[in-house]
Amino acid sequence: MKRNIRIIKFPVVLLIVVYTLSGCSPDNNFSIAGRVPDTSYDGEWMYLVPLVNAPLERVDSSLITNGTFQFEGFVETPEIYIIRPKPLYRLSLQELLIVKEPGQTQAYLGESSVTGGTANNNLLHRWKEQKTIFDKKHRLLQNSLANSDAEGEELIKKQLDSLRLEKNEYHYNFALNNNDNVVGEMIIRFMKSSFTEEQKSNLSIK
């Protein structure tokens, strides 16, 4: 009778162990390997902060050593974070939007910060590149507007209107094609005020 009891117990214990280990699967591990321009930032801290819902206990930090920093751990679902230094350095080290998700991500913080390595971070980088192009065009037109005469002002205003429509169409299509991931969700949150009612309806924005 004792022999039968032992045979029954062993599979139960084994199942418990397997179940426990499955909750910490390597597939859920994330790693962010970061760099800064040079070693002058050594000894400073870099912070990994949730874009939303960011109480202190959800903020991670990493000491910059030899011009590098590292974040790693376990993540259940992809989430948008911001990597940032302390305020003193935020002009020389641009804050970086990044997706904390399973896999290996690379991050570079400098005057123009970039990320990549995982699917969502590559997607986020492509969106940021295009947004940067739009922002640069907008600044140039605004500067031209400030120094134009009446005739030139009318032309520049038309160019600004055209750029606004182009930006809106880009962000809308980006959100529409990515409404099933955290990057698309972020774009909707950031840009929804610029969408038309029809666009909002197509994106199921209330």
Residue 3 lies in a domain: no
Residue 20 lies in a domain: no
User: Same domain for 72 and 146?
Assistant: no
Query: End of a domain among 88, 117, 146?
Result: 117
User: Same domain for 97 and 139?
Assistant: no
Query: End of a domain among 117, 132, 159?
Result: 117
What was the pLDDT predicted at 24?
52
What is the rounded CA–CA span in Å between residue 9 and residue 5? 6
> What domain range includes position 54?
31-117
Give the pLDDT means over successive 10-residue stretches in the chain (206 positions): 43 40 68 97 97 91 98 95 95 96 97 95 96 95 87 89 95 94 93 91 85
Residue 12 lies in a domain: no
What was the pLDDT predicted at 15?
37
Q: In what helix (H) or strand (E) does residue 197 lie, and over which residues does it extend? A: helix 197-202
Looking up tokens 């039968």 gives 4
Q: Are strands 68-74 and 114-116 parallel, antiparallel or unpaired?
A: unpaired
What is the rounded CA–CA span in Å between residue 20 and residue 1? 30
User: Same domain for 89 and 128?
Assistant: no
Cβ(35)–Cβ(65) below 8 Å: no
What was the pLDDT predicted at 148?
82
Residue 18 lies in a domain: no
Residue 10 lies in a domain: no
